[in-house]
Structure 1
Amino acid sequence: MSADEPDEPHEPDVPAGPGDAELAAAAAELRITIGRLRRALRFHGGSLGLTPSQSEALGQLFRDGPQTITALAGRIGVRSQSVGATVAALVEAGLVRVTQDAADGRQRIAEATDRAEEVVAASRAGREDWLVDRLGSLSPAEQRRLIDAIPLLTRLLDAP
């Protein structure tokens, strides 16, 4: 290798990343857009007559299965007393059942009922049908760009 040749292969020119101002503007636009999307999904999936905290608790039970009230509170990020009231309303609606923990009688285990599974499945189907319809309004290239962005959005949520 002569002195004129670089030691490493030449990298193609990579565009510089966005600056702080552009990132801040993108963050604000993303927040607004995701908020609008959440509201639209809530509308098209039906509210199920639940408060946001009840929906969050029920969703957590679906994702992670039966769990103690304390564990549910920790996952949602609220006090056990608050989740206790939320779970009580879900029990009254027939969407959750609560049993004593066999290993620790002081703990109560919350679990989604079969009725909740049916109601939530119908709600999810409504939201997914709406999304499929909206995705169909995009060009194939736009659909591909959106599909390719999903892992990036997931990484944003999973980042420490």
Structure 2
Amino acid sequence: MTADPDPDPVVRAQQLRVAVGRVSRRLRQIYTSTPGAGPSFTEVAVLVRLEREGPAAPSELAARERVTSQAIAAVIRELEGRGLISRSPDPVDGRKTVIAITEAGRALLRDREQVVMGGLIRALGDSYSQAELRRLDAAIPLLNRLADLI
């Protein structure tokens, strides 16, 4: 029996975009859904970045999130108003501001992470065979590398 020829690169790219997009949207929906007015996707992304990378200047956050300085200013105002981040003078250049995540911001991320992980664990445990789970495990480094290359 001969193997099927490789799919057209455009078809592969389209199928991957759709599949990854669907997973991403669903995770975003779970992560940002909360009773009342929860944080937006960009607000959560900023909190995650501050948690992982430490305090940053607003201009750094805007560049890393690929948004305008005006957009990041609105995000910072909203997060600060909710007590999820704090501002302080830059220790090197006191004219500048540094943004840091607060304990309330960390608690929000922990709560969201538990919800998302619970959903993923249920979906993976209920719907996939061990062989399929191994295939998913093998795909993770490839997807991470793809993200780095885009």
TM-score by length of 2: 0.86
Greater shift, 22-31 or 41-50, is seen at 41-50
Q: Give, as a single letter, the amino acid of the residue that structure 1 aligns with 2:103.
A: D
Task: Pick the aligned partner of 2:134 from 132, 138, 144.
Answer: 144
Task: Pick the aligned partner of 1:129 from 101, 118, 129.
Answer: 118
Measure, in 2, the Cα distance between the counterparts of 1:142 and 1:78: 37
Question: Does the alignment pair 1:43 with 2:29?
Answer: yes
Where structure 2 has 5 or more consecutive residues not aligned to the other structure, the ranges are none
TM-score by length of 1: 0.81
Query: Alpha carbons of 1:113 and 1:60: their partners in 2 closer, same or farther (altered >3 Å)?
Result: same
Residues 28 and 41 in structure 2, CA contact (< 8 A), matched pair in contact too: no
Once superposed, what is the RMSD of the aligned Cα atoms? Answer: 2.0
Greater shift, 78-87 or 118-127, is seen at 78-87
Q: Give, as a single letter, the amino acid of the residue that structure 1 aligns with 2:13.
A: A
Task: Pick the aligned partner of 1:84 from 73, 82, 87.
Answer: 73
Give the secondary-structure state (helix, strand or coil) at the position aligned to 2:99.
Answer: strand
Greater shift, 22-31 or 108-117, is seen at 22-31
Counterparts in 2 of 1:6-155, with a 5 A limit? 18=6, 22-48=8-34, 49-136=38-125, 137-155=127-145
Structure with the higher fraction of residues in helix conformation:
2
Runs of 4 or more, structure 1, over 2 Å off, are: 15-19, 42-48, 78-82
Give the secondary-structure state (helix, strand or coil) at the position aligned to 1:67.
Answer: coil
Q: How many residues align?
A: 144
Where structure 1 has 5 or more consecutive residues not aligned to the other structure, the ranges are 1-14
